[in-house]
């Protein structure tokens, strides 16, 4: 599973119409990954600020806001674990004021996730 490759805890599939589509990391108190089997009846945009898409986030940049997220933040104590992370727009290092979300997959020792499959869980 992609969650194991990224060093994240897999919680399981669930059917949640109008909730986050497909693969996600719940960055709230759960700190776990899920797969929503609702497919097309799920929301096209994440309805929960704590959810991060695992399959849809671009790889972290090596030069965004003058920061090498891929090589210096990903998989680095005090910064980001392997997986999908966000530098919020209100953070002083974020110069455009818009949340920056990216995947550490393939960065600084983080593994590459498996491809998501819309019918993987039935």
> Model's pTM, two decimal places?
0.52
The pLDDT tens digits for 57-96 are: 778 999 999 999 999 999 999 999 988 888 999 999 999 9
How far is Cα 119 from Cα 22, in angstroms, rounded to an integer?
A: 10
Mean pLDDT score, 89-111: 90
Question: HEC string of the chain?
Answer: CHHHHCCCEEEEEECCCCCECEEEEECCCCCEEEEECCHHHCECCCCCCCEEECCCCCECCCCECCECHHHHHECCCCCECCCEEEECCCCCCCCCCCCEEEECCCCCCCCCCCCCCCCCCC
The pLDDT tens digits for 14-38 are: 898 888 877 888 889 999 998 888 8
User: Domain segments of the chain: what residues?
Assistant: 1-53, 57-112
Q: Give the count of beta carbons closer than 10 Å to the beta carbon of residue 77.
A: 6
């Amino acid at each position: 599973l992609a969650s194991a490759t990224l060093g994240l805890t897999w919680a399981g599939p669930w059917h949640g119409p109008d909730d986050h589509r497909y693969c996600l990391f719940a960055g709230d108190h759960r700190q776990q990954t899920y797969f929503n089997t609702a497919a097309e009846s799920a929301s096209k945009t994440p309805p929960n600020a704590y959810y991060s898409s695992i399959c849809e986030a671009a790889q972290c940049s090596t030069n965004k806001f003058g920061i090498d997220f891929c090589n210096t933040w990903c998989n680095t104590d005090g910064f980001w674990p392997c997986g999908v992370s966000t530098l919020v727009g209100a953070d002083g290092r974020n110069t455009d004021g818009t949340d920056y979300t990216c995947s550490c997959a393939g960065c600084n020792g983080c593994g590459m996730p498996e491809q998501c499959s819309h019918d993987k869980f039935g």
